[in-house]
Chain A
Amino acid sequence: MSARIGIVTFPGSLDDRDAARAVRLGGAEPVALWHDDAVLKSVDAVFLPGGFSYGDYLRCGAIARFSEVMGLVRDAADRGMPVLGVCNGFQVLCESHLLPGALVRNAHLRYRNRPARLRVETNRTAWTAAFAPDAEVVLPAKHGEGRYVADEATLDRIEANGQVVFRYLDNPNGAMRDIAGVANEAGNVVGLMPHPEHAVEALTGPSTDGLGIVASVLAHLSEGAAR
């Protein structure tokens, strides 16, 4: 049976259908999760998609953090379940303190949509296990508030721990140390600003590199099952 990957729809989520397509094309089974669901429907992993959850009033991801489903996701993440946050999903994970650092307004102050070249800095996470070390990928980056920031000590710590997962080769937003994506210490929770779910078909994306994210979590899950 293929792995079940839950995709959370908050009010204002926009990329939930696209995440489901990516999961399907990657060979897993997408499972729809609603923001005030009280159960995770026996999923093996969770994908928090992009969008503007709850309108992103107050601060991006700040309200989603308090949703019913995020309580469950936090508990599951603590138990080691793979959790991926893309764009707004990344912001939600940072607001939820599942990931270090924060995402603030782009240095140039504008929303910008451009394919981003990234280097996969570590394949020792649940969502990058299938990539070659130092692989270069191209994913669409499109956001107004995607500049990764943290204090110097945190940055040094996550660098040392191998928690920097993706780095921009042409930094589009002024992110500190060109960071595009990070992981938690355990490597099961990953967040990134660029959109793997919009790079899964040659016809519609700048690459098909996004499929590697799904392949990674499938590899990670089957490895766990084998152990």
Chain B
Amino acid sequence: MTKQMLNPVVDTVGVAAATPDEKQPHAELGLAEDEYSRIREILERRPTQSELAMYSIMWSEHCSYKSSRVHLRQFGQKNPKTPRLLAGIGENAGVVAIDENLAVTFKVESHNHPSYVEPKQGAATGVGGIIRDIIAMGARPIAVMDSLRFGDIDHPDTARVLPGVVDGVGHYGNCVGLPNIGGETYFDPCYQGNPLVNALSVGVMPRERLQSMQASGVGNVVILLGAKTGRDGIGGVSVLASATFSEDDDSDSRPSVQVGDPFEEKLLIECCLELFDTGLVVGVQDLGGAGLTCALSETAAAGDGGMHVDLELVPLRAKGMEPHDILASESQERMLLIVDPANVENVLARAHRWGLLATAIGTVTDTGRLVIDYHGQTVVDVPPASLADEGPVYNRPIAEPNDLALVAVDRAETLPRPTADEDIRRTVLDMAASPNLCDKSWITEQYDSSVFGNTVLATPHDAGVIRLDESTGVGIAISLDGNGRYARLDPYAGAQLALAEAYRNVAVTGATPIAVTDCLNFGSPEDPHVMWQFERAVTGIADGCQQLGIPVTGGNVSFYNQTGREAIHPTPVIGVLGVIDDVARRIPLGLGQTGDTIAVIGTTGEELSGSEWAWATHRHLGGVPPKVDLDHEMKLADLLSRLAANEQIAAAHDLSEGGLAQTLVEAISNSGMGAQILLPEGADPFTYLFSESTGRVLIVIPRGQELAVRSACEQRGLPITPLGVADAKTDGLHLRDHFDIGRAEIEAAWKGRIGAKLGE
């Protein structure tokens, strides 16, 4: 900030009108010359300091989606129409109907840069922020998930970032009382200076409790609920999230990361739900990135168009805060409520019972202006839509990367591969021990998974499954997946592969996929090559969802994930939500019982480019990623939900990174059973074990159901290949005619790797 911004004389609307030529630090605040000119046009004068701060925040990439908006429109255009969709893109989170009574809201969001600067608080407040989005829709948050990406596991900074991030995700979720039901953790040097921390939350509500963010009803009172406002996170969003770390900058000028208080958030959840249930609020909005600035302008813009706020009424926890500080603060655990004057006393009393501060700070007006006074002096007088909805929109230049053709021909299928049985056996174990495939218990054991008593499946299952209603047994399944390597090779296909995997992981539990949320992690939008990746990925998701018949209901874009000129792999992370009529019929991971048949559905081709094998054993990334067949995925999902409903399936597990070998390792380790496997005649053992062809699922068929399952597959044109039997007496994996690997050896390779790498 410049000295001007610290000037103790309040810069009022009157002063601004009288001093049109005063030089303002718009460039330092990240506003381009033409953006600044537009603000002057809108206001017909220069902005006050407070207004300048508000525009700079709301027009930042993070808040305005100015680089992504032209592409994100595809979701609206291509989204399939479904009566389930009760609220979609543009709301705090998408809402989908589950049955005639219940609706579910879910969303994934990034908190990448703060988690690099201050891993624990960055990750914790990421979780806190997404939970408030869920509350703002009227729902009770019921679970969280996390998708994490770090640099090389052997890099010293990973030992700083990873434990902090996991501590933050765990601390916030555990203390606020939400089960963490799944997610993913990957390592790749491209995330070294730009770890990705994507957090998902899901909530449930009676359909009629859906809340609005509108500040409507002239005379209604604007109430700020929750924590006091301090200096934490001022400029956090606009400066921190939209500025690329420069290579030589090591610390000094980085703004502080917000600090979370999950206890306050827990009280906020309970208090807000009580207020919703008693019908005491007209509108509600969470305070997240951009704090009061965002909440006031969005609620005013969505409502009757006007609002008057007396800023000095905002309870502060720091001395000497100026109006623009109060407006920009990102202090956590705050909500904005719009309340009928007749109910104000009741709302304040209920907040008091929960030990929460609640303060009336303004009223809804019909002036069409957001007017903010500070001790009687007007410091802001703007049309709220100009902040919330009418920010700049850029159609940034797009250019195909120069190395595209070179990368495509550098195929992993040409790499030297093991052929002798002993070498293949060694590869199974080495792969199981590799950072991306090894057991992640060191991380997931730091998360509560059972609070609420409704968690039916959680990590290590392919998707989390939560019971919504004890009387009907109806539940949901969610999976969160991404693969930056595939997207680096082909962002369109990579995005669809992530979508297909999340969709399949939900289907593998027996649930029917119904909706999508996405977190799009990319480098700088000012780089035309990054913008090309972004456009391709968004198009891939939009086309994919159209074909699968499930809408994108919301999500988040995180740009500027790059250090210097090096951008991360384009990393779209996709969350798919499914519904299951009776959670008692969910399909678990494992190997069923002795004598059950193990089979693979789908076709195994020679697809090794972008695979975990190519990366883990050759540090190779090139070629064309596996082919996606969404029509096949839909048939597969239909089959699995039918088999689950008919109780004709004992277990199932998706085949993805690491191929069949890894799926067997996980099924054996997690079940305590052994597997006797005979590869199909003529199959090349290496390819069959390590190919990452998609659309494949390992299923375990209870005795007596083999014919029914085979005929269900044939009806749908799905190829099924019996591979062997589950057997409690077999020690680990018996691959007939090739090799055996005992359970102890499998577990020694697969387990305990993360802790060992981190020195624990």
Least distance between B676 CB and chain A CB atoms (Å): 28
Judge if B467 is at the interface, Cβ distance under 8 Å: yes
The chain B residue with its CB closest to the CB of A108 is B760
User: Is there an interface contact between A12 and B452, defined as CB atoms closer than 8 Å?
Assistant: no
- Interface 9-residue window, one of A93-101, A116-124, A185-193, A195-203: A195-203
Q: How far is the CA of A70 from the CA of B209 in the complex (A)?
A: 35
User: Is there an interface contact between A18 and B174, defined as CB atoms closer than 8 Å?
Assistant: no
Least distance between A48 CB and chain B CB atoms (Å): 15
Check A203/B263 contact, CB under 8 A, given A21-B453, A112-B445: no
User: Is there an interface contact between B177 and A142, defined as CB atoms closer than 8 Å?
Assistant: no
Q: Which residues of B contact A200 (CB under 8 A)?
A: 453
User: Is there an interface contact between A198 and B263, defined as CB atoms closer than 8 Å?
Assistant: no
Check A197/B354 contact, CB under 8 A, given A55-B263, A112-B446, A204-B467: no
Least distance between A68 CB and chain B CB atoms (Å): 13
Q: Which residues of A contact B446 (CB under 8 A)?
A: 110-113
* Among A51, A113, A195, contact of B177 (Cβ-Cβ < 8 Å): A51
Least distance between B360 CB and chain A CB atoms (Å): 23
Check A11/B448 contact, CB under 8 A, given A18-B453, A201-B453, A203-B583: no
* Among B175, B444, B447, B450, contact of A140 (Cβ-Cβ < 8 Å): B450
Least distance between A185 CB and chain B CB atoms (Å): 32
* Among A17, A113, A114, contact of B452 (Cβ-Cβ < 8 Å): A17
Q: How far is the CA of A195 from the CA of B263 in the complex (A)?
A: 21
Q: Which residues of A contact B656 (CB under 8 A)?
A: none
Least distance between B517 CB and chain A CB atoms (Å): 25
The chain A residue with its CB closest to the CB of B442 is A110
Q: How far is the CA of A88 from the CA of B545 in the complex (A)?
A: 45
User: Is there an interface contact between A114 and B584, defined as CB atoms closer than 8 Å?
Assistant: no
Question: Number of A-B pairs whose CB atoms are under 8 Å?
Answer: 78
The chain B residue with its CB closest to the CB of A18 is B453
* Among B450, B452, B470, contact of A142 (Cβ-Cβ < 8 Å): B450
Q: Which residues of B contact A18 (CB under 8 A)?
A: 451-453
Q: What residues make up the interface of A, taking CB atoms closer than 8 Å to B?
A: 11-12, 14-15, 17-18, 21-22, 50-52, 54-57, 108, 110-114, 140, 142, 144, 195, 197-198, 200-201, 203-205
Q: How far is the CA of A18 from the CA of B547 in the complex (A)?
A: 41
User: Is there an interface contact between A14 and B177, defined as CB atoms closer than 8 Å?
Assistant: yes
Between A and B, 26 residue pairs with Cβ closer than 8 Å are A11-B266, A11-B355, A12-B175, A12-B263, A12-B266, A14-B266, A15-B177, A50-B451, A52-B263, A54-B263, A55-B261, A55-B264, A56-B175, A110-B167, A110-B446, A111-B170, A111-B446, A113-B445, A113-B447, A142-B450, A203-B456, A203-B467, A204-B455, A204-B456, A204-B467, A205-B453
Check A198/B453 contact, CB under 8 A, given A55-B263, A111-B170: yes
Q: Which of B171, B174, B444, B450 has the most CB of A within 10 A?
A: B450
Leading 7 A-B pairs by shortest Cβ distance: A55-B263, A14-B177, A18-B453, A198-B450, A52-B175, A112-B445, A111-B446
Q: What residues make up the interface of B, taking CB atoms closer than 8 Å to A?
A: 167, 170-171, 174-177, 261-264, 266-267, 354-355, 444-456, 467, 470, 583-584, 760
Q: How far is the CA of A151 from the CA of B712 in the complex (A)?
A: 65
Q: Which residues of A contact B266 (CB under 8 A)?
A: 11-12, 14, 52
Q: Which residues of B contact A14 (CB under 8 A)?
A: 176-177, 266, 451
Least distance between B119 CB and chain A CB atoms (Å): 15
Least distance between A82 CB and chain B CB atoms (Å): 22
Q: Which residues of A contact B583 (CB under 8 A)?
A: 203
Q: Which residues of B contact A201 (CB under 8 A)?
A: 453
Known: A14-B266, A18-B452. 6 other contacts (CB 8 A): A12-B263, A14-B451, A17-B452, A21-B470, A114-B445, A204-B454
Q: How far is the CA of A222 from the CA of B583 in the complex (A)?
A: 36
Q: How far is the CA of A203 from the CA of B450 in the complex (A)?
A: 11
Q: How far is the CA of A14 from the CA of B142 in the complex (A)?
A: 12
The chain B residue with its CB closest to the CB of A34 is B353
User: Is there an interface contact between A11 and B354, defined as CB atoms closer than 8 Å?
Assistant: yes
User: Is there an interface contact between A204 and B453, defined as CB atoms closer than 8 Å?
Assistant: yes
Least distance between A173 CB and chain B CB atoms (Å): 12
Q: How far is the CA of A140 from the CA of B262 in the complex (A)?
A: 22
Least distance between B146 CB and chain A CB atoms (Å): 14
Q: Which residues of B contact A108 (CB under 8 A)?
A: 760
User: Is there an interface contact between B448 and A142, defined as CB atoms closer than 8 Å?
Assistant: yes
Q: How far is the CA of A62 from the CA of B354 in the complex (A)?
A: 19
The chain A residue with its CB closest to the CB of B466 is A204
The chain B residue with its CB closest to the CB of A140 is B450
Q: Which residues of B contact A50 (CB under 8 A)?
A: 451
Least distance between A137 CB and chain B CB atoms (Å): 16
Q: How far is the CA of A203 from the CA of B467 in the complex (A)?
A: 10
User: Is there an interface contact between B452 and A205, defined as CB atoms closer than 8 Å?
Assistant: no
Least distance between A56 CB and chain B CB atoms (Å): 8
Q: Which residues of B contact A204 (CB under 8 A)?
A: 450, 453-456, 467
Least distance between A144 CB and chain B CB atoms (Å): 8
The chain B residue with its CB closest to the CB of A9 is B270
User: Is there an interface contact between B451 and A15, defined as CB atoms closer than 8 Å?
Assistant: yes
Q: Which residues of A contact B449 (CB under 8 A)?
A: 113
Q: How far is the CA of A129 from the CA of B329 in the complex (A)?
A: 55
Q: Which residues of A contact B470 (CB under 8 A)?
A: 21
Least distance between A110 CB and chain B CB atoms (Å): 6
Q: Which residues of A contact B444 (CB under 8 A)?
A: 113
Q: How far is the CA of A205 from the CA of B445 in the complex (A)?
A: 15
The chain A residue with its CB closest to the CB of B475 is A203
Q: How far is the CA of A86 from the CA of B467 in the complex (A)?
A: 24
User: Is there an interface contact between A195 and B450, defined as CB atoms closer than 8 Å?
Assistant: yes
Q: Which residues of A contact B174 (CB under 8 A)?
A: 111, 142, 144
Least distance between B296 CB and chain A CB atoms (Å): 28
Q: How far is the CA of A197 from the CA of B263 in the complex (A)?
A: 22
Least distance between A155 CB and chain B CB atoms (Å): 28
Q: How far is the CA of A17 from the CA of B177 in the complex (A)?
A: 11
Least distance between B401 CB and chain A CB atoms (Å): 42
Least distance between A67 CB and chain B CB atoms (Å): 12
Q: Which residues of B contact A57 (CB under 8 A)?
A: 263
The chain B residue with its CB closest to the CB of A111 is B446
User: Is there an interface contact between A203 and B445, defined as CB atoms closer than 8 Å?
Assistant: no
Q: Which residues of A contact B454 (CB under 8 A)?
A: 204
